[in-house]
Structure 1
Amino acid sequence: MAVLIWGLPPESATRQAINDGKPLWSTTDYLLADLIDVSQNTTWVMANKDVPRHDQSKPPKPYPRPGMDQPKKANITAAALMAFRERTKGGAS
């Protein structure tokens, strides 16, 4: 079951519900964040290339990504799936 759930697209309602309603990042989102980091680092290097090391500005911080400041997320358990099913049951039988 977990394989099927993780195979869903990040924008699917099921994946977002398991992630406490927060949107998930797609591969494209991660690639764009990497491009932002590369662009900022290249700009920083070029701006500091002729500056003595002790006078250089601080390197740019990486673009924030989901989970950067959080511990690794726990695996989905059967109990969590059952609780999700109960929360989203609705009126259909």
Structure 2
Amino acid sequence: MLTWRELGGYLRQLPPRARTRIAMGDKDGLWGLAEHLQGLTIDELRIANWQRSNEGVKQSKQSKRPTPITRPGTGPKAADKNSPQRIARRNAAKVRAARRRSAIARGEIT
């Protein structure tokens, strides 16, 4: 019979690509060193091609800078910023702030 501490030790020592680690939400093991280096190479080549294609062009007429390839464990920032859950939390915070301001104005909170 295993103790919780022993089980935790076994789980921490699993290889990065083990299905158990991935099922537990560890996204770092999806890409190894070779995949990260290849992603970096692709990003650098895209930037170099972008620079060459915009050489001698006014800054206002240049094309947009290429976005990097998304890595495991990271998602698009704009999508997270405007997700329905985040919008709902933001609206709830605004309602709470308005209630607090009105309670302060009525003198209920000092």
Q: So what's the TM-score if we normalise by structure 2?
A: 0.50
5+ long unaligned stretches in structure 1: 72-93
The letter for the 2-side match of 1:39 is L
1:78 paired residue number: none
The letter for the 2-side match of 1:40 is R
2:23 paired residue number: 17
Q: So what's the TM-score if we normalise by structure 1?
A: 0.58
Q: Which of 38, 42, 46 is equivalent to 2:48? A: 42
The Cα RMSD (Å) is 3.0
Structure with a larger share of its residues in helix = 2
Find runs of 4+ consecutive structure 1 residues off by over 6 angstroms.
Answer: none
Taking the aligned partners of 2:70 and 2:30, their CA distance within structure 1 comes to 13
Aligned residue runs from structure 1 range 1-93, under 5 A: 5-19=11-25, 24-69=30-75
The percentage of counterpart residues that share the same residue type is 33
Which structure: larger Rg?
Answer: 2
Taking the aligned partners of 2:13 and 2:37, their CA distance within structure 1 comes to 19
The DSSP-based 3-state class of the residue aligned with 1:40 is helix
